[in-house]
Structure 1
């Protein structure tokens, strides 16, 4: 093995820090090695690969020192793994399992006996560790070295996917890597690796056909460096044979400009989402970087896409193959793209059913949704779909990995994919199905994109939090961009990370994003929706809490121009948001809901707020008009709060003081704003039947119920959340 110095690595990052490693022992050192490997996605993909160490531990029952295999358990990701993500098993008991395996009726590695071994790992658990063992546990157990890495780097899988993969393994790694052809992960594959390991003490690792590689060492740092050497060596060989401009046969079409691409995607994504979501809704992720475009634009893209992916980790997320659309933006228009998508989607579903019927076994799980999870559009990019943003982002990432595998394989040889039966046996593996069945039930809004306009403060902020709690992807929109971002950041801190800013449509946002929006401007609202579509693929629920109250003079009047501003925001703005949203709902053809915030003031005549009260009365009727116009696809309802002081942008300090003075309530200018607000809120509460202050959370709960299926047969209704103002009772 010709080692590289840390500074010589070009295709991976050398992240090992001796000072950090020296302070760690046992499992913590294993966690460290795992994390530094996972930090570089060229080493292994999200959730892919596993690492292990055999460590001497004290048996809690006997007090004796025993050898324990710590190995990354089922699920999780080595980049973020902690100690609790590793399973621990008595090495001695794992060794004894081989006799148990031989007693099963084994006629090949794809047997009930093979799968039954998974259940046997529980009998080997050390110290009642609840982490489920990985299917790769025997691979780590049977390699007798102290440290083992099993990884799925693109460069290595590229070699493992070539038609002459065994010969290339010998040539590229100079005889230091053993080889086994494709075998489904499990006991039998591990036995093959064990035989190779025992048969040649000079080997540093094993190339696993269509899968990845395994390497080992007596020391953790050495194991890490060997992993990098395997990957770097393969990547350099591929680089030496790279075809440059003729990669994938060269370009067949030219990419659209960024502006034209976004315009096309803003039209196409809602249509595609609606057609794909015939069983359940999907969330989208768009990838339009140079790497993605080089592939989808190429001569060979259609041929290679049809072959499908090679590595099990890839096609479990991308399915057996993507949907490729034979589209050329230089000659085809939007209607042609939609027509080709309709035709392609129908054929894909037919082909998928044929694949299922041809490969299914007596005990196979029922056929899953036959829709594609990856769409390739020449000149435009890659669109990945999943049940949430995280899944669609990972799906897109994995197909991007598949592209790199195909690039490498085609550079040095000829790319080959797994046979369909082998792919099916992985996709519909009973163990994989059992894992899916163990997953918790999805929350009500898990597949929904919920737009909250006015999310920067008060009712809007509380509504954003309430919808996120139900699993929604929340778009926080506000005229104050910083306030919108603050709310989005709060949600990301609770529910998952992401950059949180929309705009590119590339996989860089998480379960919440922030957008600036002015609802009085149709152009601003159109841009808002466009960015949402590029981030998630469409919309499902829109909740508008934005509004304005312009303080009047002592006689209760405001200037004429303020009347216009009040109606622009409280009425026309609501209509613009609804009207532009309706265009997207119609494109999708998916049921949706719209909740507009009005006010109980719409039904109560009183002094001092002419413009506000009449604008809210108009908003009430707008709700009814929109309910008629947008039926049956979209339900439209109104939320009518009474005075909500807490956290409201409509109650700045000066207005609160003015109201306290107006009602002759005791206060001091030296009081903090929150104390002033609480005093006013308590006063308003005394005017209601429930005698309790009305909070933003009260309104958010009502907004959630109106948007949800709990009131699926209600539309055109105004729900008052006012603590019980009898003056506003329905007449």
Structure 2
């Protein structure tokens, strides 16, 4: 049966017949999944499953057989395609039930539960390699063609109430049955199968503390039933909304946005350093009205201490967040840091006690006992993860938890999952196996790398090089448009989300684009402020920005060239380094800085006096900063020579001038790239290796200097010049 109210207030109706009707049955299932996942009020990132039982031709016998297509493990409904779905013979899945019944029992769960997941591969149709979800038996045992299993906030709110069973009957008027909390798996699916058999007129089941499952004979009807379940729950909660009395009313006032920014700029690096005593974390900040309503309330501490309810939530957010008892109108930064330090120490003690109390004989070792969510009245929520994607999803999940608590408290009383059950999910052997199967992290996977000059040339190449090693890359440039192009390239290649200053930068992805003028301290400060708000801190800073201006016989004009050259090539590096060091000192995490100088610093020649002497000064700046920032930060430099390709220092007119100067034949009609190639080849012949120097060569050296492979090297200048013997140190 399908349901469609006249108007949807709490979900988006996205089904389009003219699209869905043209799809084959499997693609129709994918379509249903995508439109469900497109609305985060329906299910969270990575959560939920959809399925369809379809008739397929057996590849061996040619006979028509029923195949269960179900979203596989690790996929996301919003972005899933056909490759994200498992396909299994329905008959073989049913045969697995006999195998399950023969498994021995343990005191706290069936020993066969985890074994069953490994058996699913024996049921694969057409050798489909997609790993099956733990929810596969739920889709198999319900004898309906189309099934959706979802985790909507409104439904979980009802499933988390102390009187959840009675509310199920009341809210959905008997159209949803109720099954109390059970860990997902074969046993839970059997209970749902029995419930369905005893109640043939129901359209779904509410799963205590978890979510809901519903079904229909047609795909569109299944979609509409899912929306009806969620819309009905949300409207019931809306009718009982407490308005200003939500969460007991407001105890604290929020700080102004400028005050929040100023506080977080100071606090985030400190918090990151304290949290990252074992491994580094990346932050996501949420200071929206919904989050602030919760953290500012009288009930925030009580409810947050109860912990989350839905298993999908606390796998990211841990058993509970760290609530910092901060008074935004009375306490200052020093008090916030002090309270955070005390709270962090106690959290780690409590988490260790939780592990020791709940661990099983076969439990995996305790993971990092640090919190992944920090709540601060007046400020908001700070989520932490191994990368930006993980911290952003963690923030999303705790926002879901807040909405669950809001709904539950509006209609009844919120209850969390029992502690032992929560532990058994968090330290489930199958979840541990997922973690162990994940590929090893790349060298810079947890690093925030600021590349200044990322709009083109060496900077762009460096941004791409460090991103390939997993870094979160801040693409900074005097020209914001050029930085945006580089950041967009990285985002397209490595992940979703791109942040630009002033447009919700906290929710960015693996790269952000920022404008900066390194000759102006306030511009550099503003840039680093945005970086800290986006990621929580910095690890590596690489400055490739520089300027070259040809000189003539007009000495008055040459004075201006001298001033500008030193402002960019020397003072700029100093300003960036001194501002970055403030953040490094607050973090107290090892960092590194790389400046870009030039082999011209060691070679005397005519026509580039200001450039050459500024680069010589930059070489010594490296040594001075290395001494000043030690032992926490390593400072080194790379010294290129005549990088023509992609360099703003070699515009077409300079290339032509150089070709003429060296009597290299060329045609005015030639493309600029062709002219640059000729000039690069000429310069290459002056080196020992006889090879043109490229931005990629410089990027490789920059990466090497921040990779940790040269962790005991500081105050050095590495020439990447193809072997220009005139620049050899004497």
Q: Same fold (TM over 0.5)?
A: yes
Q: Is the 8 A contact 1:285 1:505 kept in 2?
A: no
Shift of 1:708: 1.1
- Residue 160 of structure 1 aligns with which residue? 159
Q: Is residue 2:65 matched to residue 1:66?
A: yes
Shift of 1:555: 8.5
Q: Secondary structure at the match of 2:497?
A: coil
- Residue 22 of structure 2 aligns with which residue? 23
Q: Is the 8 A contact 2:498 2:509 kept in 1?
A: yes
What's the CA shift string for 1:206-239, capped at 9, x where partnerless? 0000000000011101100000000000000000
- Alpha-carbon distance between aligned partners in 2 of 1:126 and 1:557, rounded to the nearest angstrom: 80
- Residue 36 of structure 1 aligns with which residue? 35
Shift of 1:111: 2.3
- Residue 226 of structure 1 aligns with which residue? 225
- Residue 483 of structure 1 aligns with which residue? 482
Q: Is residue 2:470 matched to residue 1:471?
A: yes
Q: Is residue 2:1 matched to residue 1:4?
A: no
Q: Secondary structure at the match of 1:650?
A: coil
- Alpha-carbon distance between aligned partners in 2 of 1:674 and 1:189, rounded to the nearest angstrom: 65
- Residue 611 of structure 1 aligns with which residue? 610
Matching of residues 132-281 of structure 1 within 5 Å: 132-281=131-280
- Alpha-carbon distance between aligned partners in 2 of 1:472 and 1:554, rounded to the nearest angstrom: 46
- How many corresponding residue pairs? 730
- Residue 648 of structure 2 aligns with which residue? 649
Q: Secondary structure at the match of 1:400?
A: helix
- Alpha-carbon distance between aligned partners in 1 of 2:501 and 2:70, rounded to the nearest angstrom: 38
Q: Is the 8 A contact 2:255 2:328 kept in 1?
A: yes
Instruction: Note closer, same or farther for the CA distance 1:508–1:656 as it changes in structure 2 (3 Å cut).
Output: same
After superposing on structure 2, the runs of 4+ consecutive aligned residues of structure 1 that deviate more than 3 Å are: 1-5, 502-507, 554-558
Unaligned ranges ≥5, structure 1: none
- Alpha-carbon distance between aligned partners in 2 of 1:430 and 1:654, rounded to the nearest angstrom: 65
Q: Is residue 2:351 matched to residue 1:352?
A: yes
Shift of 1:668: 2.2
- Alpha-carbon distance between aligned partners in 1 of 2:106 and 2:423, rounded to the nearest angstrom: 19
- Residue 689 of structure 1 aligns with which residue? 688
Q: Is residue 2:340 matched to residue 1:332?
A: no
- Residue 79 of structure 1 aligns with which residue? 78
Shift of 1:2: 9.6
**RMSD value, Cα:** 1.2
- Alpha-carbon distance between aligned partners in 2 of 1:109 and 1:177, rounded to the nearest angstrom: 28
What's the CA shift string for 1:476-517, capped at 9, x where partnerless? 000011111111111111111213324466642110000000
What's the CA shift string for 1:524-565, capped at 9, x where partnerless? 000000000000000000000000001112689952122111
Q: Is the 8 A contact 2:451 2:473 kept in 1?
A: yes
Matching of residues 617-696 of structure 1 within 5 Å: 617-696=616-695
Q: Is the 8 A contact 1:87 1:129 kept in 2?
A: yes
- Residue 369 of structure 1 aligns with which residue? 368
Matching of residues 514-525 of structure 1 within 5 Å: 514-525=513-524
Matching of residues 410-421 of structure 1 within 5 Å: 410-421=409-420
Q: Secondary structure at the match of 2:507?
A: coil
Shift of 1:673: 1.0
Q: Bigger shift: 119-128 or 136-145? A: 119-128
Matching of residues 261-660 of structure 1 within 5 Å: 261-503=260-502, 507-553=506-552, 559-660=558-659
Q: Secondary structure at the match of 1:215?
A: strand
Q: Is the 8 A contact 1:73 1:132 kept in 2?
A: yes
What's the CA shift string for 1:621-675, capped at 9, x where partnerless? 0001111111110000010000101000111111111111222222222221111
Q: Is the 8 A contact 1:269 1:538 kept in 2?
A: yes
What's the CA shift string for 1:691-727, capped at 9, x where partnerless? 1110000000011001111111111111000011101
- Alpha-carbon distance between aligned partners in 1 of 2:595 and 2:505, rounded to the nearest angstrom: 31
- Residue 89 of structure 1 aligns with which residue? 88
Q: Secondary structure at the match of 2:581?
A: helix
Shift of 1:195: 0.5
Q: Is the 8 A contact 2:506 2:535 kept in 1?
A: no
- Alpha-carbon distance between aligned partners in 1 of 2:348 and 2:507, rounded to the nearest angstrom: 30
- Alpha-carbon distance between aligned partners in 2 of 1:495 and 1:3, rounded to the nearest angstrom: 40
- Residue 726 of structure 1 aligns with which residue? 725
- Alpha-carbon distance between aligned partners in 2 of 1:523 and 1:15, rounded to the nearest angstrom: 47
Instruction: Note closer, same or farther for the CA distance 1:168–1:156 as it changes in structure 2 (3 Å cut).
Output: same
- Alpha-carbon distance between aligned partners in 1 of 2:24 and 2:466, rounded to the nearest angstrom: 44
Q: Secondary structure at the match of 1:500?
A: strand
